[in-house]
Amino acid sequence: MIDSIVVNINEFSKYIIPFLLVGIPFYGLVFKKIKVYESFVEGAKDGFTIAVRIIPYLVAILVAIGMFRASGALDLILNFLSPILTMIGFPPENLPLALMRPLSGSGSLGLLTDLINQHGANSLIAKIGATMFGSTETTFYVLAVYFGSVGIRKTRHALAAGLIADAVGIISAVFICQLLYSQQITSSETIIGDDIVNIQELDPTIFVNLKYSSKDNFLKQDIYGNIDKCYLRREPAEMLSIASKTLKKYHPELRLLVYDGLRTRSVQQKLWDALDTIHETERTQFVADPKKGSIHNYGAAVDLILAYEDGSQLDMGTGYDHFSELAFPINEDSLLAIGRLDKNQVKNRRILRKVMTEAGFHTIMAEWWHFNAFSYHDTKNRYKIVEK
């Protein structure tokens, strides 16, 4: 029943605008005896006059927005506020949109589009961004252009009221979307009972961008859904915090950016099933068999990269989940010698390995991004697999 109603409404909506374009002039001409064409031309003349008056204010606000973005002020604000925002549950990725929205509709739409492309339309970050975009207004733009076009120079309380309304819309968007859509990788009971921690609660300066919560992975599928927090067992999480502090000591401009941490066996099964076109004997080249489990399933492995303070990632020679010898740390010297990796890419990998191994993590032969807190045998003796 509901599906048929939706289909009918969608079909009807196609004809609304054509109907209005034809119906309104027809009504005015036939029933109101209005000279439609002459009225249209007169209105166009008035519109042109208003557009000329608006242009100076429009240019001024657009130049100001361009200077704000190009100056790097937005990045400085983001870097300063990111740790605080993470602690209060405000995704730092949404901050540029929140700051840009009162200034520019087109600028904020571009940022929202970037969020959707990067994190996926169904991600929590994209949903918060879309809700934020729809529940706020381009306050400064409205005041500069529309107030200016009609000669209002004393805005009185309009600016304060507009910005308060925007702040309420932004905070409400985050709160309501977190309430409705936020998920955890596992249950609260498991997190408490198995001493599992959110890594950003230990160190808010660690960035998190879960690749399986978007389509930016080798499967091109969103496996995790609206999960945006990364969890590890407490000891591996504390080791990661040590690695983060070591990195900032050697390279203050760099941060750890985590791609994946604890992955429950039920999620591991989803990854395994997503590759059902590949025979099981070959599938283990890409994903660990959930029957056996990987160290990720115990919460003692982490995938990560180095990033600058603005979140941009360093060049490591390959992307995440790259299944060729280019991703093998063991082959780096020979790949460098034949020119398939360059010195900067190898240097970046070595920086990551240095801070991680100094914190106690172990590397593996085939993935520069993967680090284990303990061996598989030691992990099994310490922990049990997190099922769901």
For 4-14, write each residue's pLDDT tens digit. 675 677 778 78
Classify domain 188-382 by CATH architecture.
2-Layer Sandwich (3.30)
What does the alpha-carbon distance between residue 96 and residue 166 come to, in Å, rounded to a whole number? 14
- Angle at Cα 281 formed by Cα 280 and Cα 284, nearest 5°? 80
Mean pLDDT rounded to a whole number for the chain:
87
- Helices H, strands E: what count in the chain? 19, 7
Q: How confident is the model at residue 3 (pLDDT cuts 50, 70, 90)?
A: low
Measure the CA–CA gap between 333 and 317, rounded to whole angstroms: 13
Which of 30-39, 125-134, 235-244 has the lowest average pLDDT? 30-39
Enumerate the domain spans of the chain: 73-181, 188-382
Mean pLDDT along residues 197-218: 89
Cα–Cα dist 334/130, whole Å: 47
Across 43-61, b (16+ Cβ under 10 Å) vs e yields eeeeeeeeeeebeebbeeb
List the structure tokens of 205: 């300066």
Confidence grade of residue 95 (pLDDT, cut at 50, 70, 90): confident
SS3 content of the chain, % helix, strand, coil (to 5): 60, 10, 30
Q: Residues 264-296: pLDDT tens digits?
A: 999 899 889 988 888 888 888 888 999 999 999
Rounded alpha-carbon distances, angstroms, from residue 26 to 29, 33, 34, 342? 5, 10, 10, 69
List the structure tokens of 110. Answer: 């571009």
What's the pLDDT at 191? 77
- Vertex 150 angle, CA 36 and 136, to 5°: 95
H-helix or E-strand spanning residue 207: strand 207-208
Count Cβ atoms within 10 A of the Cβ of residue 193 and give its class: 0-12 exposed, 13-18 middle, 19 or more buried: exposed
Within a 10 A sphere around the Cβ of 94, how many other Cβ atoms?
A: 24
Calpha distance 299→272 (Å, rounded) = 18
Among 131, 57, 43, which Cα is nearest to 94's? Answer: 131
Whole-prediction pTM value? 0.63
Nearest of 165, 206, 186 to residue 83 by alpha carbon: 206
pLDDT score, position 60: 74
| pLDDT score at 276 | 85
CB contact at 8 A, 79 and 310: yes
